[in-house]
Amino acid sequence: MIALYSEAHAAHAPAFENFRGERVPCFETPQRAQIIRAQLQARGHAMGAPHVDSRSVLAQVHTARYLRFLEGAWAQWLAIDAANAGRQPFPSVWPVRTLRSDVEPANFTARLGLYSMDNGAPLVEGTWQAAKAGADAAASAAALLLAGERSVFCCSRPPGHHAGADFMGGFCFLNNAAVAAQALRQGGAQRVAVLDVDYHHGNGTQSIFYDRADVLFASLHGDPRTEYPFYLGHTDETGEGAGHGFNLNLPLPAGCPVHDWFAALDVALSRIVAFRADALVVSLGLDTFAGDPISTFQLEAADFLRLGQRLAAARLPVIFVLEGGYAAAELGVNAVNVLDGFEQVCA
């Protein structure tokens, strides 16, 4: 399997984040991608670099003003005060119910709040560079699939599935899974399925495709009544307008047994097969691992091998896009187990 990797991801390396009221070291670090790359190389997977500029697809996934803000955010932060080079900006006000979001404020912190769903996506100087490289990897993966490759893995970060059309959040800035799906559609795939197996619901991906019938979104995740992102991911969210019936949420309780998790996966895969998708994008969250520090599901290393085998049984060309997973020591083994399980069935 071809794995796409760019060193540009390391430019996004925030020193800290705010977690449950405390300032803590970031869970989402450059080491995540580096550990996975080392395991990919150790097991003989072919490594490549992104080769497609994603800007045209990004403009179809995200709004123009959000992209403009995100690309220029660090320069705007420094323009306020040169000393800001040593500070991480965080939003402090958000346009919630009754407040307007159609008028972009002149104040930087207010703009940051306008384009954020939470304070969990810390910006640094290299954030745009890293996020754009991840989107380029997703667009490149789509080009490879359209050219005949069976599967491609985007070993990129920061993750993307919490990023919506006009907002960042949950470590995510640009929605790589959505970029991959849109690039596949733009390249000729009639129907694309996105399967999100991250512990946390892919609220951004759902919202981007919620009114469309050409992209099916299916997700199994922690119950949003108790788990982040809390405000999306319920079973009654089935799509709207043309997209009605093309959104499937399978929320699971904290501590969900492995058997129940795989039963939900089978439901999602059955819906994808019935959809007659031409290609599948997998938002590959690995925070379902039993040892993950911010999640509660119970998958072990061997279960990720099994996950890859189940995905291969759908007999679809697949783009795997790295999302969450914060048990750094085990991350490489778990990620590559999915890919190897997939390859075993497809060989």
Q: What is the pLDDT of residues 74-86, one digit of tens each?
A: 999 999 999 999 9
Catalytic annotation present for 162: yes
Please check whether residue 33 is in contact with residue 322, taking contact to mean a CB–CB distance below 8 angstroms. yes
- Measured at the CA of 35, the angle between CA 29 and CA 37, to 5 degrees, comes to 115
Determine the average pLDDT of the residues in 313-324: 97
Active-site entry in 62, 162, 200, 221: 162
Q: What is the pLDDT of residues 144-197, one digit of tens each?
A: 999 999 999 999 999 999 999 999 999 999 999 999 999 999 999 999 999 999
Within 10 angstroms of residue 28's Cβ, the number of other Cβ atoms is 22
Q: Which residues contact 89 (CB under 8 A, 6 or more apart)?
A: 73, 77, 108, 109, 112, 123
Residue 172, pLDDT score: 98
Residue 22, pLDDT score: 86
Residue 246, pLDDT score: 98
Residue 20, pLDDT score: 79
Which of 14-28, 166-180, 185-199, 316-330 is predicted least confidently? 14-28
Residue 229, pLDDT score: 97
Dist. CA 110–CA 90, nearest whole Å? 10
Residue 172: DSSP 8-state: B
Q: What is the pLDDT of residues 194-234, one digit of tens each?
A: 999 999 999 999 999 999 999 999 999 999 999 999 999 99
Query: Is the confidence at residue 346, as pLDDT, over 90?
Result: no
Please check whether residue 26 is in contact with residue 16, taking contact to mean a CB–CB distance below 8 angstroms. yes
**Encoding tokens for residue 61?**
């996934």
Confidence class for position 275, pLDDT limits 50, 70, 90:
very high
Residue 209, pLDDT score: 98
Residue 42, pLDDT score: 96
Residue 207: DSSP 8-state: H
Strands 17-19, 22-24: pairing is: antiparallel
Residue 90, pLDDT score: 94
Residue 59, pLDDT score: 98
Average pLDDT value for the chain: 97
pTM: 0.97
Query: Is the confidence at residue 257, as pLDDT, over 80?
Result: yes
Give percent of the chain with pLDDT exceeding 70: 100
What burial letters (b/e) apply to 122-152, b meaning 16+ CB within 10 Å? bbbebbbbbbbbbbbbbbbbbbbbbeeebbb
Residue 77, pLDDT score: 97
Query: Is the confidence at residue 347, as pLDDT, over 80?
Result: no
- CA-to-CA separations, 244 to 59, 87, 215, 240, in angstroms, rounded: 24, 44, 11, 4
Residue 83, pLDDT score: 97
